Amino acid sequence: MQTQLLKASDLDVAVSILRDGGLVAFPTETVYGLGGNAENGEAVASIYAAKGRPVGHPLIVHVASADAAWTWAVHVPAAARALAERFWPGPLTLILPRSPRAHPETVGGRDSVGLRVPNHPLTLRLLSQFGGGVAGPSANRFGHVSPTTAAHVMSDLDGRIDAVLDGGPSRVGVESTIVEIVGEQALLLRPGGVTLAELNDALAEAGLDDRVVDGRGGESRAAGMLASHYAPHAPMRIVDEVDSVALEPGDVLIRPRPAEAPASAASGRNVIWLPADPEGFAEGLYAALRDADRACEGEIVVVRPAEGRLSAAINDRLEKASTR
């Protein structure tokens, strides 16, 4: 199979591939997703095969609007509607009791489905023109570092999928926040581009008593919940202070750029600089991990950025990337 690299002007080609049961990687504000028709069991099976993803690990269905999302659920709690109104389009996935529309392959045999409206203009056009749901896990080999550019997708999946729709680099850089609302409790399953505090502020502003609580741990009920994930091939460790780092020859250091760093300090083979603020750090993290993996002959050492809005998401990804 030859993988096509598509531009925005090739949108009709991408839609045709999806309608024919093929696979198209697409851009989102978080990371690139690997898309197939969520109502086509063969297309969904092809996603698992292309990624090397364990069957039964549920996928997220991407749709063009909240109204389209609700057709995939048998019940939409008030909390889900309030969160969707505040954060969609955006980096939030809601897990709800699924309707028969959700193919069993897509949801990993579960009675719930993950739904998201991504905040990327090209992909919103793709979803609107396609007219259905697109199952879309991250467009990389399973467990590897997620892709934030079309080039990252091609490096992992060239020859394994039909096409990559290039929409430029992802802005957020880490995957969506996942909240499960099944029954009367809302659980945070994966931190991401929307914080726990922001979720609860939105519910309070909507006049709801419901609150999202941290539900991490236990079985893998959603994407990205495995203990080891988002990982480079090289071994990796995390440190809190750069002064505590003892590097060996062949190691690569990823670190936040301090205010006093000289302007001439550029990323190189052994040091990769990222913005010091957590949002900038998150945006560049996966690209830095991929670059470090290519250069590393020893260990990748990552210095955590200062505490900030996306710290929970960054720490979650770093811990999973360093666990083997």
Residue 96 has pLDDT above 70, yes or no: yes
- The chain-wide mean pLDDT, for the chain, equals 92
Which residue did the predictor score with more confidence, 241 or 154? 154
The domain 4-214 is classified under which CATH number: 3.30.1330.200, 1.10.12.10, 3.90.870.10, 3.30.1180.20? 3.90.870.10
**Average pLDDT of the segment spanning 139-151:** 95
Residue 258 confidence (pLDDT): 82
For 255-286, what is each residue's pLDDT tens digit? 999 876 665 566 666 899 999 999 999 999 99
Residue 120 confidence (pLDDT): 98
Which residue did the predictor score with more confidence, 2 or 55? 2
Residue 215 confidence (pLDDT): 87
**Average pLDDT of the segment spanning 177-205:** 93
**Average pLDDT of the segment spanning 139-149:** 95
Do 242 and 274 form a contact (C-beta atoms < 8 A)? no
Residue 185 confidence (pLDDT): 83
**Average pLDDT of the segment spanning 40-52:** 95
pLDDT > 70: percent of the chain = 93
**Assigned token pair, 135:** 């199952």
**Average pLDDT of the segment spanning 318-323:** 90
- Residue 116 pairs in a beta bridge with 62
Residue 63 confidence (pLDDT): 98
Binned at pLDDT 50, 70 and 90, residue 51 comes out as: very high
Instruction: Name all contacts of 232-235 with Cβ < 8 Å and 24+ positions apart.
Output: 232/144, 232/145, 232/289, 232/290, 232/292, 232/293, 232/296, 232/300, 232/321, 233/144, 233/293, 234/292, 234/293, 234/296, 234/298, 234/299, 234/300, 235/299, 235/300, 235/324
Cα–Cα dist 50/135, whole Å: 13
Pairing verdict, β 163-165 and 4-6: parallel
Do 159 and 3 form a contact (C-beta atoms < 8 A)? yes
For 23-40, what is each residue's pLDDT tens digit? 999 999 999 999 999 999
Residue 82 has pLDDT above 90, yes or no: yes
Residue 266 confidence (pLDDT): 64
**Average pLDDT of the segment spanning 44-54:** 94
Residue 225 has pLDDT above 70, yes or no: no
**Assigned token pair, 196:** 């726990």
pTM of the model: 0.93
Instruction: Write out the residue limits of the CATH 3.90.870.10 domain(s) in the chain.
Output: 4-214
Least confident of 61-65, 98-102, 111-115, 174-178: 98-102
**Assigned token pair, 65:** 């609007």
